[in-house]
Structure 1
């Protein structure tokens, strides 16, 4: 095997492919790495960073390194980032876990994971030198060759947050998230972007509609998560306790933050990347005629789902408020040859 590439190499962007995983995820993670290597990273050689709440086994490390020539780093979580905070009422939390009817409602580990992904992953020492990260998870698949560099594409176009799948949330898990967010916004109105995508998040009555980006795929300019605005928002949510009293996920937290704190032009839909997370497929509409894709666009419903269509509409309206507000099905169009965005 070739020697590992230094993390600060001659690549134009300091970035890495990152995952929070456990030793038991080795097989699923190997599937994901094989996919992303074949479709993208064998050409670009971005490093991988994997973090765990327990030490990685030598079997896990070797099983990952066998699949790539890129640098691979393994890290542990610290106690602060993987704990139930001291301000959480233990009795109330125990009752919530006992009575919760939604998926993972009884699990400490799932809530710790959501809190960690929301407020601590980007602070891990292994990410300290990075400008961007691409999040992957075990068992995900990539169906189309990615012949351009999404990190460089984001930098060149001023994009802070990139996504691929948008869906609605289990509302019981975020029952008070929107009201808590609105309280934060009222206390910090200067932090809300002038051309925010607030309207993407609400229904006709102004209530949260549950739309969020699936954060199992996200490509992010880490200056966003490191910003004072995002840190204040996360701290506000953390103190409210909803990661534990309900089951606030990192996906709605990241999505609401991106929609409110970023300019609409800084949020990008990577519609050209064919992606599968167990149970949901995102396949480009022209996949059947593209030699670089192997997926069935007829089996992919998320592109025409409520949250995706509303994103295109509301983003267009935020950027062009004087234009007629109607359904916009083109959104951002990526021209691979020129590496530019066309409005």
Structure 2
């Protein structure tokens, strides 16, 4: 599936899908590509980092929140993202979903990185507040191992912004419909930080995985590029 918002004409789509029966273009509707009701379009000028347009922030919200319901309603059990500027350079000699299912894995990525701290202002404090409200000690070590000290205080003060570079990821759709997962994603969404502070889908997705999945269900592919 290629998700689009008016950037391919019917002729473009016909040309690109010719001889490729598995390629589909999906037009993004206002259900998934519009401001949430709790934000006002008149405030756009006050948002941080204006070089990132509203459409870019819609894209972040899509990959952080909306894609899971879309894929579930479309009948998919797994979703893999390969961004428009991402490429697979080597042969993969196995079926990725079979690999995941055979090992009890729920989420996989290829590259890790560190998010620019300017694009996460306030995010870690929201994560800390969620942990304080809904978790009990011991808190998830996968997340706190990236904080100094490895505690809620460290999360607030010195998180190293480690993220899965999610221009490629592979995950089980059902994971993102767990009540605890939905509660976290909706908590982040309701703050408006995706729009007002340009919080990225990569740190949101990374933290969600670290909070709700045991580390043995998360995999980093290293045998292909």
Find the aligned partners of 1:65 and 1:129 in 2 and give their Cα distance: 22
Say which of 64, 82, 85 aligns to 2:36: 85
Matches within 5 A, 1:38-57: 49-54=1-6, 56-57=8-9
Per-residue CA deviation, residues 185-226 of structure 1 (Å, 9 max, x unaligned), is: 221116x99765123432344422111011110011111122
Say which structure, 1 or 2, has more relative contact order (CA 8 Å, 6+ apart).
2
Max Rg structure: 1
How many Å separate the matches in 2 of 1:199 and 1:180? 14
Measured against aligned partners, the alpha-carbon deviations of 1:232-268 in whole angstroms (never above 9, x if no partner) come to: 1111011111011100111111001011111111110
Q: Deviations over 1:29-84 (max 9, x none)?
A: xxxxxxxxxxxxxxxxxxxx12223385223323332363x523332223132112
1:219 aligns with 2:170: yes
SS of equivalent residue, structure 1 residue 180: helix
SS of structure 2 residue aligned to 1:88: coil
SS at match of 1:80: coil
TM norm structure 1: 0.58
For structure 1, the 5+ residue unaligned runs are 1-48, 275-343
Matched residues in 1 for 2:138 and 2:73: separation?
Answer: 27
The Cα shift of 1:125 comes to: 5.8
Q: What is the aligned-residue RMSD (CA, Å)?
A: 2.4
- Report the secondary structure of 1:72's partner residue: coil
Counterpart of 1:170 in structure 2 is 116
Please, which moves more after superposition, 214-223 or 85-94? 85-94
Give the superposition deviation at 1:270.
0.5
1:201 correspondence with 2:146: yes
Q: What SS does structure 2 have at the residue aligned with 1:268?
A: strand
Q: Quick one: distance in 1 between partners of 2:144 and 2:19?
A: 43
Could you say if the C-alpha distance between residues 265 and 196 of structure 1 is closer, same or farther in structure 2, counting changes exceeding 3 Å?
farther
Counterparts of 2:179 and 2:5 in 1: how far apart (Å)?
27
Q: Residues of 2 paired with 1:219 and 1:78: CA distance?
A: 24
Pairing of 1:1-343 with structure 2 (within 5 A): 49-54=1-6, 56-66=8-18, 68=20, 70-88=21-39, 90=41, 92-97=43-48, 100=49, 105-124=51-70, 128-189=74-135, 196-204=141-149, 205-206=154-155, 207-274=158-225
Please state how far the C-alpha of 1:172 moved relative to its aligned partner: 1.3
Aligned residues: 219
Which whole-Å CA distance do the structure 1 matches of 2:178 and 2:129 have between them?
A: 20
> Taking structure 1 as reference, are residues 195 and 184 closer, same or farther at Cα in structure 2, changes over 3 Å only?
closer
Normalising by structure 2, report the TM-score.
0.87
Displacement of 1:155: 0.8
Structure 2's unaligned 5+ residue stretches are none
CA distance in 2, matches of 1:240, 1:52: 26
Measured against aligned partners, the alpha-carbon deviations of 1:282-314 in whole angstroms (never above 9, x if no partner) come to xxxxxxxxxxxxxxxxxxxxxxxxxxxxxxxxx
**2:72 touches 2:173 (CA, 8 Å); kept in 1?**
no
Q: Give the Cα–Cα distance (whole angstroms) in 2 for the partners of residues 121 and 140 of structure 1.
A: 19
Tell me the distance in 1 between the aligned counterparts of 2:206 and 2:37: 27
CA distance in 2, matches of 1:254, 1:106: 20
Q: Distance in 2 between matches of 1:131 and 1:194?
A: 29
